[in-house]
Structure formats: C-alpha cells, structure tokens
Amino acid sequence: MDINRLLGLRVKKIRKELGLSQEQLAEKADMNVANIRQIEALKGNPTMESVAKLARAFETRPIDLLDFDREYRRLEIFEEPEQTLHDLIAPLKPHEQAEIISLVAMVVSTMR
C-alpha cells in the first residue's frame, strides 16, 4: 500500500475523530479544501508542507502523522482478518457497516 493512500486514510480518520468537516480542517490547516478532498480521496501527491500543516492542525508532529508501521501490518499482512475487518468498519454508521458486510458476503459467495 502506498504512502499517499495511508496518509489519506489517516487524515480522514483523524478528522472524523475530531469531529471536523473538510472545510474546518482546511481552515485550521491553512490549506485549500480541494487539497484536503484530494488527500482524503487518495489522489494527488501531498507535499511535506501539506503534511506539516495537517500535523499542526491535528496538534501532532509530522513524524507521528507519517508513522504507518501499524497500518502496514494491519492492512497488508492480515494476521487477524476478522479483527482487521472489524477495525475498518467500526467507525462507519450501522447502515454503512451493513452495506460492507453485504458486499463481503457477495464476494465470498462468488468464491465458493
């Protein structure tokens, strides 16, 4: 999994945990909201300046924002797939979780 994708996933997760909209994060980070949307949509190539601004907005250090060791282990190795799936869908609303579970069930049924 590439670094830009991991950064986008982390930015979206932290933003939602803090209860911020993309617009609020853009203002707090002194960035254009289009840049925030691009990063979260896993498109583009964020600069180190953007990483530094996001880290300041999240009141953390850029190095902490870029520490992906745990994500690599969870998303790439899948040592405990059930827990990984649970962790991935836990932040979603119940109806969104149900949609994901339905999609997984459909994929599994085609593999049998």
**pLDDT digit string, tens, across residues 16-54:** 999 999 999 999 999 999 999 999 998 878 999 999 999
Q: For residue 73, what are its two tokens? A: 């282990």
* Percent of the chain whose pLDDT exceeds 70: 85
| Residue 70: closest CA among 91, 87, 93, 92 | 87
Radius of gyration of the chain (CA): 16
Q: How far apart are CA 97 and CA 21, in angstroms?
A: 21
CB of 20 closer than 8 Å to CB of 11: no
pLDDT given for residue 42 in this prediction: 86
Alpha-carbon distances, residue 23 vs 27, 63, 74 (angstroms): 6, 24, 30
Residue-wise pLDDT for 47-92, tens only, equals: 999 999 999 999 999 988 888 765 555 555 455 566 667 778 888 8
